[in-house]
């Protein structure tokens, strides 16, 4: 019955296959010989099957776990270097007709402030985000065909791309909205979106249906098959994720990797990104009401094992996590983080009064973008505001083949330095600017090609002289 090529949710995320995988992992968690052979396979950097990866996740031999962490770190370095791409979420509307038990936007929450940005308000939010230095947004909206129809989302995307304020511009809009039709995905593609992101929340069908008691999201198959429709609609960069804490993390881990294998098998390209949110406190949501919360050690192990299993897939961690936790997982595989985020509708222009709160979850890492950029550079990471790939038509399988051959590095590294330089000149505090300029000088020497180095140096001078938006 399990068939990664099937287009039916219950066949490519097959419950029995997951249970067998978990039993196999449990049985082999002390099997040093098998774990060695899986690590050997993983060192080829071609990824791992969900079965092999599940054994690594369960492995409880300390020495082997240290090898797992070391390998994750090495793969992270090989594929992503020391760059971390930055983005911010932009909440457009928290009207929602669904009844998700873990989200305060569920329609039975009658006391949360309901808000929907007008185009004028979108413009003000985007200017506030541009003034922080952001170039890449993920737009978020609840599911509500009356308040947030696709036309509204498309209008917002147009508005966002149209705003040029001082040297600011949003160059990539990723979209996180409810599962929809092929026709609507096509419209999003035509609007020039980057990645379409949709979290599965949980791959466990029974739990999924219990956690989504009402509304269109109750339909497990329609939700789980959304990425296939998105790809049919021409969107070839899609982002997966689950909400850790709802179900057993081992189950979700296997489900996530099976979903990635399915996309690869059917569409020839795996997920562009995987997000790893953990359930958090928010308005009427108490995370302790969910039994499957995971501690920081388990979270780190999950990140490391995902990194090893899908080396070409970007990994995202948001401000749901503390500075300390983010610091730990950056080493192990995270390639994108949000910074300076507000999770309320309209929160970038002004903080909300207590009686009008509209946040989706409590932000744990509440530092400003400048503080996040400074912190990254002091740990020797290069904060990157790069958005080059989809603007250069490097998406889907074209992007993946550049990733797999390692050639993408020739673009990512100089692009990171050029976009960082823009940030330092236009938005950074004096201290951040000084730290950043020194970092750029050091990093120029790490560009391998002399020709690229020469163009990079010229562009960095052009940026000093007021020109913007260079990219490889
Ligand atoms: S998770 Fe999404 S669909 Fe569910 S209530 Fe929240 S906004 Fe609505
Ligand atoms: S060059 Fe492409 S892959 Fe590299 S950071 Fe920029 S957008 Fe991402």
**Contact between residue 320 and residue 281 where contact means Cβ atoms under 8 Å apart:** no
Question: Of the candidates 376, 342, 344, 371, which has an alpha carbon nearest to the alpha carbon of residue 359?
Answer: 344
Based on the structure, what is the number of domains in the chain?
Answer: 2
Residue 354 in domain? yes
**Cα 248 to averaged position of ligand 2 atoms, centre (Å):** 33
Query: Does 410 lie in the same domain as 361?
Result: no
pTM of the model: 0.97
What's the mean pLDDT in 51-72?
98
H or E stretch covering 121: helix 119-132
**Contact between residue 167 and residue 189 where contact means Cβ atoms under 8 Å apart:** no
Q: Which residue among 193, 195, 381, 408 has the greatest number of ligand 2 atoms within 8 angstroms of its CB, and so is best to mutate?
A: 408
Q: Which residues line ligand 1 (CB under 6 A)?
A: 96, 98, 100, 103, 105-106, 142-143, 178, 217
DSSP string computed for 11-40 = HHS-HHHHHHHHHHHHHTTT-HHHHHHHHH
Q: What span, in angstroms and rounded, lies between the C-alpha atoms of 364 and 81?
A: 27
Query: Does 153 lie in the same domain as 277?
Result: yes
Measured in whole angstroms, the distance separating CA 188 from the mean position of its chain's CA atoms is 18
pLDDT in tens, 371-393: 999 999 999 999 999 999 989 99
Query: Does 325 lie in the same domain as 188?
Result: yes
- State which of 366, 387, 418 marks the end of a domain: 366
Percent of the chain with pLDDT over 90: 93
Percent of the chain with pLDDT over 70: 100
Q: What span, in angstroms and rounded, lies between the C-alpha atoms of 231 and 242?
A: 19
Locate tokens 């099937």: which residue?
6
Q: What span, in angstroms and rounded, lies between the C-alpha atoms of 100 and 210?
A: 9
Per-residue pLDDT at 67: 98
Q: What span, in angstroms and rounded, lies between the C-alpha atoms of 461 and 191?
A: 33
Local structure of 314: helix, strand or coil:
strand
**Contact between residue 93 and residue 115 where contact means Cβ atoms under 8 Å apart:** yes
Which CA distances in Å does 245 have to 201, 231, 276, 280, 293? 9, 28, 11, 9, 4
Query: Does 166 lie in the same domain as 234?
Result: yes
H or E stretch covering 416: helix 409-426
Query: Does 442 lie in the same domain as 303?
Result: no
Residue identifier of the C-alpha nearest atom 1 of ligand 2: 412
Q: What span, in angstroms and rounded, lies between the C-alpha atoms of 416 and 46?
A: 25
Q: Which residues line ligand 2 (CB under 6 A)?
A: 85, 384, 386-389, 408, 411-412, 415
Per-residue pLDDT at 238: 98
Residue 263 in domain? yes
**Partners of residue 314 on adjacent β-strands:** 273
- State which of 312, 340, 366 marks the end of a domain: 366
Query: Does 450 lie in the same domain as 328?
Result: no
Nearest ligand 1 atom, CA 107: 5
Range of the domain at 437: 404-464
Q: Which residue among 92, 98, 108 has the greatest number of ligand 1 atoms within 8 angstroms of its CB, and so is best to mutate?
A: 98
Confidence of residue 174 (pLDDT cuts 50, 70, 90): very high
Per-residue pLDDT at 354: 78
Q: Among all ligands shown, which has an atom nearest to the Cα of 140?
A: 1
Q: Among all ligands shown, which has an atom nearest to the Cα of 394?
A: 2
**Cα 189 to averaged position of ligand 2 atoms, centre (Å):** 19
Residue 423 in domain? yes
Give, rounded to a whole angstrom, the gap between the first and last alpha carbons of the chain. 45
Q: Which residue among 145, 217, 344 has the greatest number of ligand 1 atoms within 8 angstroms of its CB, and so is best to mutate?
A: 217
**Contact between residue 260 and residue 303 where contact means Cβ atoms under 8 Å apart:** no
The CATH number of the domain where 88 resides is what? 3.20.20.70
- State which of 366, 388, 417 marks the end of a domain: 366
**Cα 403 to averaged position of ligand 2 atoms, centre (Å):** 10
Residue 378 in domain? no
pLDDT at 406 over 90: no
Per-residue pLDDT at 351: 81
Question: Of the candidates 47, 50, 41, which has an alpha carbon nearest to the alpha carbon of residue 4?
Answer: 50
Residue identifier of the C-alpha nearest atom 2 of ligand 1: 142
Measured in whole angstroms, the distance separating CA 207 from the mean position of its chain's CA atoms is 24
What's the mean pLDDT in 65-79?
96
For the chain, state the CA radius of gyration: 21
**Cα 142 to averaged position of ligand 1 atoms, centre (Å):** 5
Nearest ligand 2 atom, CA 409: 4
Query: Does 452 lie in the same domain as 341?
Result: no
pLDDT in tens, 419-466: 999 999 999 999 999 999 999 999 999 999 999 999 999 999 999 999
Per-residue pLDDT at 405: 85
Query: Does 287 lie in the same domain as 181?
Result: yes
Question: Of the candidates 343, 346, 344, which has an alpha carbon nearest to the alpha carbon of residue 118?
Answer: 346
Query: Does 272 lie in the same domain as 184?
Result: yes
**Cα 258 to averaged position of ligand 1 atoms, centre (Å):** 24
Residue 395 in domain? no
Residue 240 in domain? yes
Residue identifier of the C-alpha nearest atom 7 of ligand 1: 142
Two tokens, residue 310: 């899908």
Nearest ligand 2 atom, CA 387: 7
Query: Average per-residue pLDDT in the chain?
Result: 96
pLDDT at 355 over 80: no
Nearest ligand 2 atom, CA 172: 7
Locate tokens 């500075």: which residue?
323
Per-residue pLDDT at 44: 96
Nearest ligand 1 atom, CA 140: 7
C-beta atoms surrounding 155 within 10 Å: 15
**Cα 98 to averaged position of ligand 1 atoms, centre (Å):** 6
Question: Of the candidates 45, 72, 43, which has an alpha carbon nearest to the alpha carbon of residue 57?
Answer: 72
Residue 35 in domain? no
Which CA distances in Å does 66 have to 27, 39, 324, 326, 454? 20, 12, 20, 19, 40
pLDDT at 291 over 90: no
Instruction: Tell how strand 136-141 and strand 83-93 pair up.
Output: parallel
Confidence of residue 61 (pLDDT cuts 50, 70, 90): very high
Which CA distances in Å does 225 have to 137, 182, 265? 25, 11, 14
Please list, in sequence order, all residues whose beta carbon lies within 8 angstroms of the beta carbon of residue 2, skipping any fewer than 6 positions away.
11, 12, 14, 16, 17
Residue identifier of the C-alpha nearest atom 5 of ligand 1: 106
pLDDT in tens, 136-166: 999 999 999 999 999 999 999 999 999 999 9
CA atoms within 13 Å, Cβ hemisphere of 465: 7
**Contact between residue 385 and residue 167 where contact means Cβ atoms under 8 Å apart:** no
Locate tokens 């196999």: which residue?
24
Query: Does 359 lie in the same domain as 211?
Result: yes
Residue 437 in domain? yes
Residue identifier of the C-alpha nearest atom 5 of ligand 2: 412
**Cα 423 to averaged position of ligand 1 atoms, centre (Å):** 33
Per-residue pLDDT at 1: 92
Two tokens, residue 279: 């359930």
**Contact between residue 321 and residue 364 where contact means Cβ atoms under 8 Å apart:** yes
Local structure of 193: helix, strand or coil:
coil
Query: Does 311 lie in the same domain as 223?
Result: yes
Biggest distance spanned by C-alpha atoms of the chain: 63
Residue 95 phi, psi (nearest 5): -70, 135
pLDDT at 357 over 90: no
Query: Does 453 lie in the same domain as 316?
Result: no
Q: Among all ligands shown, which has an atom nearest to the Cα of 109?
A: 1
**Cα 105 to averaged position of ligand 1 atoms, centre (Å):** 6
Q: Among all ligands shown, which has an atom nearest to the Cα of 141?
A: 1
Per-residue pLDDT at 356: 83
Which CA distances in Å does 155 have to 178, 188, 236, 444? 17, 11, 22, 40
């Amino acid at each position: 019955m399990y068939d990664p090529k099937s287009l039916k949710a219950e066949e490519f995320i097959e419950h029995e296959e997951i249970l067998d995988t978990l039993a196999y992992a449990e049985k082999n968690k002390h099997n040093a010989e098998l774990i060695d052979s899986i690590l050997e396979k993983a060192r080829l950097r071609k990824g791992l099957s969900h079965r092999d990866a599940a054994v690594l996740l369960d492995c409880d031999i300390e020495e082997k776990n240290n090898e797992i962490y070391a390998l994750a770190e090495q793969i992270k370095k090989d594929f992503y270097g020391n760059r971390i791409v930055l983005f911010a979420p932009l909440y457009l509307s928290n009207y929602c007709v669904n009844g998700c038990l873990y989200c305060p936007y569920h329609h039975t929450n009658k006391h949360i402030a309901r808000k929907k940005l007008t185009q004028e308000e979108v413009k003000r939010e985007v200017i506030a985000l541009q003034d922080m230095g952001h170039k890449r947004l993920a737009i978020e909206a609840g599911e509500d065909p009356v308040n947030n129809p696709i036309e509204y989302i498309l209008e917002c995307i147009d508005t966002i791309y149209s705003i040029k304020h001082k040297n600011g511009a949003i160059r990539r809009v990723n979209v996180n909205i409810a599962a929809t039709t092929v026709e609507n995905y096509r419209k999003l593609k035509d609007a020039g979106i980057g990645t379409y992101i949709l979290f599965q929340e949980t791959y466990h069908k029974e739990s999924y249906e219990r956690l989504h008691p009402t509304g269109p999201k109750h339909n497990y198959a329609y939700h789980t098959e959304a990425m296939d429709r998105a790809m049919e609609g021409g969107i070839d960069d899609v982002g997966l994720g689950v909400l850790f804490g709802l179900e057993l993390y081992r189950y979700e881990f296997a489900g996530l990797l099976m979903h990635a294998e399915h996309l690869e098998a059917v569409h020839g390209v795996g997920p562009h990104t995987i997000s790893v949110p953990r359930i958090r406190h928010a308005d009427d949501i108490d995370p302790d009401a969910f039994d499957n919360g995971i501690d920081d050690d388990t979270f780190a192990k999950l990140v490391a094992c995902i990194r090893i299993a899908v080396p070409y897939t970007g990994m995202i961690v948001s401000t749901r996590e503390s500075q300390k936790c983010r610091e730990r997982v950056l080493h192990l595989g995270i390639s994108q983080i949000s910074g300076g985020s507000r999770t309320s509708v309209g929160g970038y222009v002004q903080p909300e009064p207590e009686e009008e709160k509209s946040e989706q979850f409590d932000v744990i890492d509440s530092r400003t973008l400048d503080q996040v950029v400074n912190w990254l550079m002091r740990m020797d990471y290069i904060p990157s505001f790069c958005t080059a790939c989809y603007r250069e038509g490097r998406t889907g399988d074209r992007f993946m083949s550049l990733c797999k051959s390692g050639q993408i590095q020739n673009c990512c590294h100089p692009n990171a330095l050029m976009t960082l330089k823009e940030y330092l000149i236009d938005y950074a505090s004096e201290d951040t600017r000084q730290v950043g300029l020194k970092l750029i000088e050091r990093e120029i020497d790490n560009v391998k090609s002399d020709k690229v180095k020469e163009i990079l140096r010229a562009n960095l001078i052009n940026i000093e002289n007021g020109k913007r938006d260079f990219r490889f």
